[in-house]
């Protein structure tokens, strides 16, 4: 393992918000390469998330956001495993960031699993009609429709949207990063977005 200097560890810590030891280990494993270290930390976060995904999330907070001008607001319920984590700065910041995301990007659902099947079927039928006279083989049409449905998910599902503060990651990856930091399972239970006149 390569020895890494403190400045590099500090830089990685500032970028990821993770602990010094985690950052040091990731940099040592990646030979001091910042991008590889970030990727390793992301993968580790996904592994922690997978391990914790069956843990009960009965604690948490309800966060509110009212946009300047009082014409639009968001409420979100964000859950975690313990009251301790619910009070941490990282967890509260995640709730605030999610409110801003919902305010800006107007998702309709938390995740693809939550999408109304009738709505999805309706959208697929429209896509099929649009592509009906394209002359492409059925297998290719299915792939095109699947791609367009995934694009739809990235528009209407909060977890699949690009994060407004960092378009290199999705909201789902943001949540996984906070799971890695806190060591607890975190779930977006529900949200609602209010806008005057809608």
pLDDT reading at 30 higher than 90: no
Chain-centroid distance of CA 71 in Å reads 26
Of the options 3.40.50.150, 3.30.479.20, 3.40.50.720, 3.30.930.10, the CATH number for the domain spanning 59-111+157-195: 3.30.479.20
Look-up of token digits 């967890």 = 91
User: What counts of helices (H) and strands (E) characterise the chain?
Assistant: 8, 5
- Res. 51 pLDDT band, cuts 50 70 90: low
DSSP E strands: which ranges in the chain?
59-66, 72-80, 162-163, 166-170, 186-195
pLDDT reading at 99 higher than 90: yes
* pLDDT average, residue stretch 129-133: 78
- Res. 76 pLDDT band, cuts 50 70 90: very high
Q: Which residues of 88-120 are buried (b: 16+ CB within 10 A; e: fewer)?
A: beebeebbebbbebbbebbbebbbbeebeeeee
**How many residues does this entry show for the chain?**
198
pLDDT reading at 185 higher than 80: yes
Domain boundaries, the chain: 6-52, 59-111+157-195, 116-155
Question: For all residues of the chain together, what is the average pLDDT?
Answer: 85
- Distance, CA of 175 to CA of 49 (rounded, Å): 9
Structure tokens at 172: 């789902």
Burial tier of 17 (Cβ tally within 10 Å: 0-12, 13-18, 19+): middle
pLDDT reading at 159 higher than 70: yes
* pLDDT average, residue stretch 39-60: 68
Per the model's pLDDT, the better-predicted residue between 54 and 43 turns out to be 43
State the greatest distance between any 2 C-alpha atoms of the chain, in Å, as a whole number. 62
Q: What is the pLDDT of residue 52?
A: 56
* pLDDT average, residue stretch 42-64: 71
- Res. 144 pLDDT band, cuts 50 70 90: confident
Least-confidence region, from 9-18, 35-44, 58-67, 107-116: 9-18
Second CATH level (architecture) for the domain 6-52: Orthogonal Bundle (1.10)
**What pLDDT, in 10s, does the model give residues 1-24?**
556 777 877 777 777 666 677 777
pLDDT > 70: percent of the chain: 89
């Amino acid at each position: 393992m390569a020895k890494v200097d403190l400045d590099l560890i500090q830089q990685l810590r500032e970028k990821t918000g993770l602990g010094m030891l985690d950052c040091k280990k990731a940099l040592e494993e990646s030979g001091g390469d910042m991008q590889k270290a970030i990727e390793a930390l992301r993968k580790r976060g996904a592994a922690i998330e997978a391990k914790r995904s069956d843990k009960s999330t009965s604690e948490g907070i309800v966060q509110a956001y009212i946009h300047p001008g009082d014409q639009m607001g968001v409420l979100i319920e964000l859950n975690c495993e313990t009251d301790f984590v619910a009070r941490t700065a990282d967890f509260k910041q995640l709730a605030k960031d999610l409110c801003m995301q919902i305010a800006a990007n107007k998702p309709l659902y938390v995740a693809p699993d939550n999408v109304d099947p009738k709505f999805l079927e309706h959208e697929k039928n429209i896509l099929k009609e649009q592509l009906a006279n394209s002359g492409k083989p059925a297998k290719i049409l299915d792939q095109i429709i699947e791609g367009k449905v995934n694009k739809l998910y990235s528009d209407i599902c909060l977890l699949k949207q690009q994060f407004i503060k960092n378009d290199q990651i999705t909201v789902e990856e943001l949540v996984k990063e906070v799971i890695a930091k806190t060591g607890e399972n975190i779930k977006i239970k529900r949200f609602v977005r209010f806008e005057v006149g809608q």
